[in-house]
Structure 1
Amino acid sequence: MTGARPSSAPAAPAARAPVTRRLTLRARLALLTAAAVALAVAACALASWYLTRDQLYQELDRRLAALSSGPPGPADGGPEGDRPPGGPWMAREVQDALAACSPTPTADYQSVPPLPFEIFQVVSAQGRACTIPGAGVLDVTAEDAAVARGERDRVSRDGTGVTARGQDDRVRVLTRSFRTRDGTRVALSFAISLDEVEGPLDNLTLLLVAVTAVGVLVSAGAGLMIARAGLRPVDELTGAVEHVARTEDLGTRIPEEGTDEIARLSRSFNSMTAALAASRERQRQLIADAGHELRTPLTSLRTNIDLLLRSEAAGRDLPEATHRNLLAGVKAQMLELSTLVGDLLELARPADAEPVRETVALHDVVTRAVERARLRGPGLTVEAATEPWYVEGDPASLERAVVNLLDNAVKFSPSGGTVAVRLADGELTVRDHGPGITPEDLPHVFERFWRSPSARSLPGSGLGLSIVARVVAECGGRVGLEPAPGGGALARVRLPGTPAPRD
């Protein structure tokens, strides 16, 4: 019995997600400009249409009010009231219409004198439509009935009706109160066709739609031109950025014209590329200086180790003093390498990295550094006078900086000399009696890897004072080096702090 064979059909590839294409900034600006202008034009067109409509309706209501008012005086000898238009004939028609009160219109319009109304009818006090022969009929609303009962004087509204010729029509209606000869209060409704309003409004609508469409097209073209003109500096900036990314040429600059946002962006880009170029130059210089400083101890190490290996391979022991000197040299060069690597690691720490901040007893740091300096300069006298002073900073970095200051003083002090260390009121001073500093060397003493010509033969990498300046700056202090009265050098370090620890 054989089992079912597995299907060998390849699996269907997974459907790829659709790629969403966003409009370019130029297209978005043009689209936004066109939309803004279109909305403005449409709002103006709509406001114009409503204003024109209101004006036409007001004019129509004024015509209805003027045409529906008869001459004042008694109505055919009855109580005082307004005569309906048409004089005595219309008064009789109103009376007859009330007597019959038929809501069915009659088409006997040949016998009706010409009237300025499309439709004319009487509304009884009961709210019923009482038609006049040849004058059509209107729908009666609650507002018309309220006028007929005397609750309101008049009302204007839109409505529908049937003309004397039997045609349905939309009309503007004015219903006003009227009192007959026998004192009966009724309402007369006068209507004029709305064709006089809707016709011009329809024409105005077409015109405004056409104007809006033209405005949208014109605004789209104007928006595109504005976007092109406004984004031309951005295109230049984009080209410069692409050039820098392609060639890594940080010397590229963009013209900085004007004071607008684009000019600010150009200045920011130029400042950024200048900062990057300076950083690259510092990095290149650091690598070159580090390589130069590492070459000497490495060469000495290689030479001493080669001598030891050759002696071992030849089976000839070196004299005890020579062997000891070689090992001491290896140890000294290893110590120098360790110090140099430590200094490089300290300087390689990013300047924007958040340093450790805690309360440090600076007088204790100075005391420990003085003890280390006495061990490194056994033939020197290191005098120390410290007062309590507490600062905010990194304890390890502060101790390294103070040790570097004392090492520098020890290195340049003559045998049997004195190094005076004093800490008072937040100022640390270190004075030696060495050769001092020339005015030409003072501007360079805190530069990386810089060493005066007289110190080239002495051990050191030229990084000690650079580390001191960096640590002091991170603590918000100041450091300076100056010639001391009577010879030697005087280092001054001022750090903000307090004589007692803060709570």
Structure 2
Amino acid sequence: MINRFRRPALRSRLALLVAVAVAVAVAAVSVTCWFVVRGKLYDEIDSKLKAANSPLRSEDIAAALNECSQTPAAPTGYGRKPVWYFQLIRTGSDKPCVSPDSAGTVKVDSSDRDVAQKADPTFWTFRNGTDTQGNDVRVLSVVAVVQGPANGVVSDTALMIGYPLKEAEGTLDDLALLLLIVSGIGVVGAGVAGLWVARTGLRPVDRLTGAVEHVARTEDLTVRIPVEGEDEIARLSRSFNSMTAALASSRDRQAQLIADAGHELRTPLTSLRTNIELLARSDETGRAIPPADRTALMASVKAQMSELAALIGDLQELSRPDAVDRGPLKVVALHEIAQAALERARLRGPELSFEAELEPWYVRAEPAALERALVNVLDNAVKFSPPGGTVEVGMRQGELTVRDHGPGIPADELPHVFERFWRSPSARSLPGSGLGLSIVARTVQQSGGEVSLGPATGGGTRAVIRLPGAATPPPAP
């Protein structure tokens, strides 16, 4: 089922978020403002009610209680209608005694009778009520106090003074309408401003998106995004530029590796094809190849096949990523691995003499890869040593040195010795692919060490491998 409700764009969501945030803030401020103004207006009315409360004459209270009219006197002539409400309420009565000067009759509440029952002149209550016409009134209820010879409070009687809330409520209604209009304008303006800010702020993201789509469509890794400022977008742009540069460099190295591998494979394959064609032609024509030549051809075929196998193995080793398909790192005895590599080197150079002095040293590395790297270093020493020469191997404090007495490496060639497929012009006639030292450098770096080649004192080449470790094995877990 196709989803009909698509998620809005990021800039729309940002604009909506800003509008909602502003709406919440404006609503909170508006409500707070309305309640503050309402409180101020009520405080002003309460102050008026307190000022209107004064001791009454005993005869006035007695007359009001005796007559106990339920309605005020109607205005006569051109007299203006009274504004204030005055009435008395007794504890045991539900009907108030209204003053003739009252603007109307206020409905009695239980709190009013409570004031009459307390008979405490320091106690009063404020409340909102209504008169018999349904008009809102602010009411002050206090104990009735008389002046003159009968000075004191009137037993079980409360005076209720009221003031209409029409004017205050009109002001609050006008304020609420004004706040609503201002809030609406603010929310709409915030939405428009949020959309503008989102578009402006996301413009670098649009450029980044366009660049990514261009790379995905054309595989052009030369695209770079202009970087402006030091904010998060600038960091993202720098990261994208670094990523495309790394990918371009990786693709270039891969293309170079394939080209170099093809070049190196072409020579042994051509030679192997020529030798096989000679053998096949001899069988097809019936012209036998002299035994000595045939033996030489077969030996050449075997050597070329061995060279191809070694080259393919080296290519596989160099082509795998650093963090993929690697064996587990273990604590290994470097001196023991060096001793095993030395035994293999003796088999490849039986006419050479080897001098070894290996002190114990333990490192964390991949055992098989480390042994192969040491074998490659010793193979180079065997390959370039003169007949009857000496190969000196030593290890002290984690520094393994291999020194031969061969022709050495010219100074201008030293910077290239660890490059893939690079071979010295003087060594092109010797077997090898030019990958051995590249594998050595890669393996040593993966183990946290470093390797270097340089001229030895008195002639020859000195290879130095330094690996971090310790002279004693770590305790077993």
Regarding TM over 0.5, the answer is yes
Matching residue of 1:12: none
Q: How much has 1:138 moved relative to structure 2?
A: 2.3
Q: Provide the residue aligned with 1:318 in structure 2.
A: 289
Gaps of 5+ in 2: none
The residue number in structure 1 matching 2:43 is 58
- 1:419-434 matches, within 5 Å, as 419-434=391-406
Give the corresponding residue for 1:7.
none
Q: 1:178 aligns with which of 128, 139, 144?
A: 144
* Deviation at residue 305 of structure 1 after TM alignment: 0.9
Q: 1:69-468 to 2 correspondence within 5 Å?
A: 69-70=53-54, 82-83=55-56, 88=57, 92-101=59-68, 105-110=70-75, 117-126=83-92, 128-132=94-98, 134=100, 135=102, 136-148=104-116, 149-151=118-120, 153-162=123-132, 167-180=133-146, 181=150, 183=152, 184-185=154-155, 186-353=157-324, 355-468=327-440
TM-score (ref. length: structure 1): 0.88
Matched-pair contact (CA < 8 Å) for 1:129–1:138:
no
Instruction: Name which of structure 1's ranges 351-360 and 298-307 shifts more when overlaid on structure 2.
Output: 351-360
Q: 1:293 to 1:210 in 2, by over 3 A?
A: same
Cα deviation 1:213-250 (Å, max 9, x = unaligned): 11111111111111111111111111111221222111
Q: Distance in 2 between matches of 1:133 and 1:122?
A: 8
**Could you list the runs of 5+ residues in structure 1 that have no partner in the other structure?**
1-15, 71-81
CA distance in structure 1 between the partners assigned to 2:223 and 2:256 by the alignment: 21
Q: Is 1:487 aligned to residue 443 of structure 2?
A: no
1:30 aligns to 2:15 (yes or no) = yes
| CA distances 1:65-117 after superposition (whole Å, capped 9, x unpaired) | 11x233xxxxxxxxxxx23xxxx5xx544222323556xx2253347997864
Provide the identity percentage.
Answer: 56
Report which stretch shifted further, 125-134 or 368-377.
125-134
- Report the equivalent of 1:474: 446
The AA in structure 2 aligned to 1:108 is: A
Q: Which moved more, 1:373-382 or 1:257-266?
A: 373-382
Please state how far the C-alpha of 1:48 moved relative to its aligned partner: 1.1
Q: Are residues 106 and 20 of structure 1, via their aligned partners in 2, closer, same or farther at CA, if it must alter by over 3 Å?
A: closer
For residues 396 and 287 of structure 2, the distance between their equivalents in structure 1, rounded to whole angstroms, comes to 60
Listed one character per residue, the Cα deviations across residues 295-339 of structure 1 (whole Å, up to 9, x for unaligned) are 111111111111111111122221111111111111111111111
Deviation at 1:182, TM superposition (A): 7.4
Letter of the 1:238 counterpart: T
The whole-number CA distance in structure 1 between the counterparts of 2:123 and 2:142 is: 6
Task: Give me the whole-angstrom Cα distance separating, in 2, the residues matched to 1:146 and 1:111.
Answer: 36
Say whether residues 1:39 and 2:11 are aligned partners: no
Quick one: which amino acid aligns to residue 147 of structure 1?
A: V
SS at 1:441's partner residue? helix
TM-score, normalization: structure 2?
0.93
In structure 2, how many angstroms separate the alpha carbons of the residues matched to 1:132 and 1:142?
17
